[in-house]
């Protein structure tokens, strides 16, 4: 499948980490240069970790600009995951070192942006800039989980990335809830 490259300063925006029980929801905004096409871009979930890491390096080097946005577990608990994701997307777009003229958002909702924007269902399979954002956000959040794993290896974050796997739920039961856990999420709330 050939992805669409946009001309002009169009930011692709995507998120990673709505489903996990711990950590930030992470978003990225990327404006690609249509003259510097990056081979192999696609939805981050369809790439191996090694390929994502390699593409992320290339995106950082060849994109016109990119930025990462986040919403913390506390913000997720206060706002809910959808609104926290929209906030993180807004932060990513607003942190771009060069302002975007418009934005393409993966999914079916739009964050409150000061520029024209459009949502695109399965956008990371359609637009190169959204696929690039998907990859940067995934690599960033996976890095967060490896760092958390280095402090709390008994939870297995490097393996399950914070998702509600059997191993993660058992670790919560055995070792308790961490500050970075999302207290409003059912499996965590059940252990409070």
3-state DSSP assignment of residue 58:
helix
The residue behind tokens 């964050």 is: 111
pLDDT of residue 1: 65
What domains are there in the chain, each with its CATH number? 10-140 (3.30.420.10)
CA-to-CA distance for 68 and 192, rounded, in angstroms? 31
pLDDT tens digits for 121-152? 999 999 999 999 999 999 999 999 999 999 99
Q: How far is CA 45 from CA 48, 120, 130, 139, 155, in A?
A: 8, 17, 13, 11, 23
- Cβ–Cβ < 8 Å for 27, 68: yes
The residue behind tokens 């999914």 is: 107
pLDDT > 90? residue 62: yes
Q: How far is CA 142 from CA 35, 44, 125, 127, 149, in A?
A: 29, 12, 21, 23, 10
- Arithmetic mean of pLDDT, 96-114: 97
* pLDDT > 70 fraction of the chain, expressed in percent and rounded: 99
- Cβ–Cβ < 8 Å for 162, 188: no
pLDDT > 90? residue 99: yes
Q: Which stretch of DSSP H or E encloses residue 13?
A: strand 10-16
Q: How many CA atoms lie within 13 A of 8 on its CB side?
A: 6
Mean predicted lDDT score pLDDT of the chain: 96
Q: How many CA atoms lie within 13 A of 78 on its CB side?
A: 6
Assign residue 17 a region (left: φ > 0; alpha: ψ between -120 and 50; beta: otherwise).
left
Residue 18 backbone dihedrals phi, psi, to 5 degrees: -80, -30
- Cβ–Cβ < 8 Å for 154, 175: yes
- Arithmetic mean of pLDDT, 73-79: 98
pLDDT of residue 171: 95
């Amino acid at each position: 499948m050939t992805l669409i490259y946009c001309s002009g300063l169009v930011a692709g925006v995507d998120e990673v980490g709505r489903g996990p029980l711990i950590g930030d929801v992470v978003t990225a905004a990327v404006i690609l240069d249509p003259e510097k096409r990056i081979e192999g871009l696609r939805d981050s979930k369809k790439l191996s970790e090694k390929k994502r890491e390699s593409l992320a390096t290339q995106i950082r080097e060849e994109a016109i600009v990119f930025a990462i946005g986040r919403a913390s577990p506390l913000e997720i608990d206060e706002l809910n995951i959808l609104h926290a994701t929209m906030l993180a997307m807004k932060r990513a777009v607003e942190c771009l070192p060069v302002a975007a003229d418009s934005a393409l958002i993966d999914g079916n909702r739009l964050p409150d942006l000061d520029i024209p924007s459009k949502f695109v269902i399965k956008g990371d399979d359609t637009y190169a800039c959204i696929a690039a954002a998907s990859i940067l956000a995934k690599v960033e959040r996976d890095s967060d989980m490896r760092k958390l794993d280095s402090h709390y290896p008994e939870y297995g974050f490097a393996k399950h990335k914070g998702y509600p796997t059997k191993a993660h739920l058992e670790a919560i039961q055995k070792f308790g809830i961490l500050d970075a856990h999302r207290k409003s999420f059912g499996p965590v709330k059940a252990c409070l």
